[in-house]
Structure 1
Amino acid sequence: MYFNLTEGALPAIASRWGIETADLAATMEASVASSVPPPPGCDDVSRKITERFFVFSTGFYDKTVQGVGHRIHAQPHLPAVDACYRAADATGSGEISARSAALGE
């Protein structure tokens, strides 16, 4: 498999991630209250609609918050990974040996 990164690509990605992650978090914060409609009545259909939306939104926001957390964790490490990649590429290596250390694993 062919894989190519231009020099400085990962730090550029990291800087965009910061902006995108902040935008995503702000959008989530603004939309969480409206993601579960209030029950419009006391009938079974209205109750079930609210329950289903609650189950969906709980799963959706849980996974999205996890994704935001992964991005926040990885973002500051991408410049170090970029440096490791460039060093490995310059020596003709097929591995990025410092990947685990650079990602804090």
Structure 2
Amino acid sequence: MKQENAIQLFEDKKVRTVWDTEQEKWFISIIDVIAVLTDSVDPNAYWRKLKQRLKREGNETVTNCHGLKMQASDGKMRLTDVPDTEQLFRLIQSVPSQKLTTQKIDGK
């Protein structure tokens, strides 16, 4: 798999992404997306719990979510769950987020 790493910014938060040139797909760090959506103090723990719940419910998106090594905040390369964009949209729908609810109600 030939990859190109990139950092995207969303609301001043970094979201790590990888472009796979062979599959022609973006892969996005789910931990970073969880951090943006929830403002959780520990997005890793949040994702672990959500992943357990989704697996119990039989959610195949979690099962099909790839793990890739990405540079962590400490500079080390660590295995990170990275859905593609289609999987990411499905996972986002499973995240209870006050931010998403407020934005829909306020129309922002």
- The question of a shared fold, defined as TM-score above 0.5 by the shorter chain, is answered with no
Which structure shows the bigger proportion of residues in strand conformation?
2
TM-score scaled by length of structure 2? 0.20
Q: Structure with the greater relative contact order (CA < 8 A, sep ≥ 6): 1 or 2?
A: 1
Higher share of residues assigned helix: 1
Q: Name which one, 1 or 2, has greater alpha-carbon Rg.
A: 1
